[in-house]
Chain A
Amino acid sequence: MTNHWIDIKNSDAILIMGSNAAEHHPIAFKWIMKAKERGAALMHVDPKFSRTSARCDFHVPLRSGTDIAFLGGMIRYIFETDSWFKEYVVNYTNASFIVSKSFGFSDGLFTGYDPETRRYDKTSWRFERNSSGAPLRDDTLQHPRCVLNVIRKHFERYTLDSVSATTGVSKADLVRVYDIFCATGKPDKAGTMLYALGWTQHTVGVQNIRSAAIIQLLLGNIGVSGGGINALRGEPNVQGSTDHALLYDSIPGYHKAPVASWQTLADYNKANTPVSHVKGSVNWWQNRPKYVTSLLKAWYGDSATPENDFCYGLLPKLADGEDYSYMFIMDRVFQGKMRGGFIMGVNPMNSFPNTHKMRKALDNLDWLVVTEIHNSETSDNWRRPGADPAKIKTEVFLLPSAHRIEKEGTISNSGRWLQWFDKAVEPEGEARNFGNFWVPFINLMRKMYEEEGGACPEQLLKMRWYEKFDASDIAKRINGQFEADCEVNGKKYRKGQQVPMFTALKADGSTSSLNWLYAGSWTEEEGCKAKRRDPSQTPMQAKIGLFPNWSWCWPQNRRILYNRASVDLNGRPWDPSRAIIEWKDGKWVGDVPDGAQPPMAQSGVKPFIMTTDGTGLLFGTAPADGPLPEHYEPAETPIKEHPFSSQLSSPCYKYHKSAYDKMAEPADPAFPYVLTTYSLTEHWCGGGGTRAVPNLLEAEPQLYVEMSHELAKEKGIANGDGVIVESPRGAVEAIAMVTIRIRPFEVMGRTVHLIGMPFAYGWTTPGCGDSTNRLTIGACDPNTTIPELKACCVNIRKANKLTEIA
């Protein structure tokens, strides 16, 4: 989230899209309702009417997978109605930058596309630059190739007619949403967009969010209270686990994982440390070498010296451009290329798409370690329905895991608040927390390598490792410590003391930190700030629900990111009634500002300190699939063509080929209906934990499929009937729930039906049904490799008898 849960109450217009917030974040929804009490407009754009729709002013049904068409239409509308916030856009975004002559877009493809590799060569996606390297700009925004005009032209095709024909949303509904949201393009109005997996789980997931970013920058809604783009993160510590990079492609603190072509730390720093030629750009990532060296120092301790590149050479290096994410892991397991694995606190045999392939794949492992609270469809895969254990070789070690209340430490909520939790009771039976497995496990591995030798023992032995897992000790190391006696701003620190904040981190080995973002969270001066329970606020902070003294948040306790964009060039809030920061008597008051320098008119400092050129990126060259969003159909689509180009689906999405990776043809008559999937308030994601709780299972006992009355009539299905839903990848039994919550769509002149199913059920809970994801598809976003769990094509029929559902 750019903002935080409570801040949502400050909004004038809330567009909930790709999220069923009332169902999945019920407690946070109270802040959305607070906004409504203040007179905010609440809009829900989603394939089905849900608990969220019921709380909103109105619901707009949208065919799953057409969000970019919907949002692209809004971008066009912003220009058509001249709703964009000019002072903000000119000063704070790259709207005025001149795009290179070599850049182009034609019939759904940007310049540089290679159909063989399904990748773009991005060299033409750049700005014209002067001799010193600064981008050329036209602040009058007249230049035909300035970003604003390139965007205006790109979205000219997104007319109400085309958008309506593609999305299935009526023109009246489009205009209704556009009018309300575009009204926030004024200095004293704020609109927010709330999204979740309904935006990310598509082959165009990143571009869905890029569309939101373009709209929010054009309307001046980024950095302001009640504004922002807010990912309503679902998993309990998914913010923290991302910050600490339980991901192949990054290392803690949002640095890229080293690849083979970066052989030395100097290579790494050169490739990853941006240089800005724009006056006033803070270009914060120029500090990256300090954070990376401090991370290496935290990992390798005294073994890490300037002479040995701080042990950078010992880090595993990825093959350049290779994908090691879970869909690729599982494909390699399927191909028999893996010997073993660790699966902790996740249930892929229920939650990953194309589950039949996943379940078959796991049989190929020699050994598997599963760390869980309960037996799950993953731990017990060897005895799944239809499998013969006598033919499955995999050794499985199932380790009992401690629950939250049985351990201490910190988590980071969706608004980046670092919250400490104490241990209430000892772990049940012999259960252990994850740290209490990995620390002794690595100690044992180190002992074996010391005694026996083996492959590259120094990779393990040169690490600074821990005698036992102690959450406080690790939390302090995450903050960072001095590795030598140092002086910061005139204050002396001894070796081993806590660094006061990330500006104290150095690239010379005198500091260590397991994650620079968290530097400042546990200091000598104030101790563990995650434990703070002080609700005090200034009147200015109270007005917008800012609690700077309750816990702590990264970075630097800044509660609203990009907050320097909430003020004008002189540091005056665009809207004084919901000021986050203000330049008063020569200093900033309110939230911790994005940099302490005086306002832009005095200092020239631009508000977007994390981008190289200091501006919000209307035109962004980072995504693999284009510098601007473009509508493409899902990998499986009920239509053969759309009005925007002849490029039907994303030219870049990733997929695998195997007998288990079947896909329906576009507009395949065998699979005519769109399936979307979701979870439930009463069950946690795949349901592994909550199905074991009787009161929750009683509330939501079995797998169902929601469908319209029209489709039910067509198929001769009555409410409560047992049905079979089929995709090219599998068949699933469910109970029919015939409802007005789902309505047929008018798409490209014909009727398209959509059905919806939760995915919380699995065979280890008898009689409740089995994985919905046996239907879903392994087509993935080219940037994130997140699979398209929200849209695939299926058929449905009445079942003669049910075997999965009691």
Chain B
Amino acid sequence: MAVTRRKFLKLAGAGALCLTLSQLGFDMTEAKAYVAALKIEGAKEVHSVCPFCAVCCQIIAHVKDGRLVSTEGDPDFPVNQGTLCAKGAALFTMYTGKHRLTKPMYRAPYSSSWVEKDWDWTFRQIARRMKSARDKDFIAKDAKGRTVNRLESVFSMGTSHASNEECAVIHQALKGLGVIHQDHQART
């Protein structure tokens, strides 16, 4: 079996560790290995991609008991070779921080606060407004009598954060609704 870059790094890392410890005159190998093992021991390795710029550095997420325990650069990926920038290095904090939105929220007209809602209610409310706008404003024919089947009063913006599969679905969904005001970050 070929030695991948990653396996090589692991071997090289072990070599470097031994050298340092022998220089120090302490044998901390066991203690260090124990500390290192605590975090990702028995964790599943999942291959993902950093969600920031279009270098698309590959990352490895370590998951234990359904929880994310670590993210790091993928040493085997030829472009980033295991390295990450400040944002990529902060991924773990980004995922596990307490600032995330976790429930659908609703702000009523003229209200000064958010209210938590469930998805079912949220879907129905949005769909009702979408249908109402579409039924009122749909333009089947233009002034010259040509079929145009478009809706001008609703727009969609975003997003380059979507995967290719999500983009394909979003584009098709908007074609189905007749929405033509459609744009995202590529226009920058």
Contact = CB atoms under 8 A, between A and B. Distances in A.
A346 B58 contact: no
B4 A5 contact: no
Contacts of B134: 454-455
A399 to B, nearest CB: 5
Given A299-B175, A405-B61, A405-B95, A234 B53 contact: yes
Interface string A221-234: 00000000000111
A411 B146 CA distance: 38
B42 interface: no
A316 B175 contact: yes
Given A383-B112, A390-B112, A681-B87, A5 B177 contact: no
B46 A424 contact: yes
Contacts of A369: 126
A693 B106 contact: no
A395 B106 contact: yes
A440 B185 CA distance: 25
Interface residues of A, number: 161
A746 B106 CA distance: 54
Q: Give the interface size class of chain B.
A: 35 or more
Contact of A348 (B67, B130, B138, B157): B157
Nearest to A446: B176
A5 B80 CA distance: 10
Contacts of B104: 397-400, 430
A412 interface: yes
A200 B188 contact: yes
Interface in B33-65: 46-58, 61, 63
A694 interface: yes
Given A392-B109, A434-B159, A684-B52, 16 more contacts: A248-B181, A261-B146, A344-B158, A369-B126, A397-B125, A398-B106, A400-B105, A410-B164, A411-B163, A413-B54, A431-B102, A442-B173, A681-B86, A683-B87, A692-B94, A693-B90
Contacts of B61: 405, 424-425
A248 B78 contact: no
Contact of B161 (A317, A339, A345, A695): A345
B21 interface: no
Contacts of B131: 445, 448-449, 452, 454
Contacts of B107: 382, 394-396, 398
A207 B181 CA distance: 26
Given A246-B159, A316-B178, A343-B158, A535 B149 contact: no
A28 B52 CA distance: 13
A346 B164 contact: no
Interface in B76-94: 76-81, 83-88, 90-91, 93-94
B171 A251 contact: yes
A247 B149 contact: no
A392 B110 contact: yes
Interface of B: 4-5, 46-58, 61, 63, 66-68, 71, 76-81, 83-88, 90-91, 93-95, 97, 99-112, 114, 119, 122-127, 129-131, 133-135, 137-138, 140, 142, 144, 146-173, 175-188
Q: What 9 pairs across the A-B complex have the smallest Cβ distances? A: A429-B102, A345-B159, A409-B163, A344-B158, A455-B138, A235-B160, A413-B56, A244-B167, A404-B51
Contacts of A235: 53-54, 160-161, 185-186, 188
A219 interface: no
Given A434-B170, A786-B188, A397 B126 contact: yes
A497 interface: no
Contact of A338 (B51, B102, B147, B155): B155
Contacts of A248: 180-183
A355 B5 CA distance: 48
Nearest to B153: A339
Given A339-B137, A397-B126, A422 B48 contact: yes
Given A244-B171, A316-B150, A409-B166, A693 B94 contact: yes
Nearest to A315: B175
B176 A459 contact: yes
Contacts of A33: none
A527 interface: no
A338 B97 CA distance: 36
A316 B180 contact: yes
A346 B152 CA distance: 21
A543 interface: no
A119 B96 CA distance: 52
Contact of A448 (B50, B127, B151): B127
A246 B186 contact: yes
A572 interface: no
Contact of A367 (B80, B129, B175, B176): B129
Given A240-B167, A340-B153, A442-B173, A317 B148 contact: yes
B126 A535 contact: no
Given A246-B182, A410-B164, A438-B173, A25 B101 contact: no
Nearest to A476: B165
B146 A246 contact: no
Nearest to A240: B164
Contact of A246 (B71, B80, B93, B183): B183
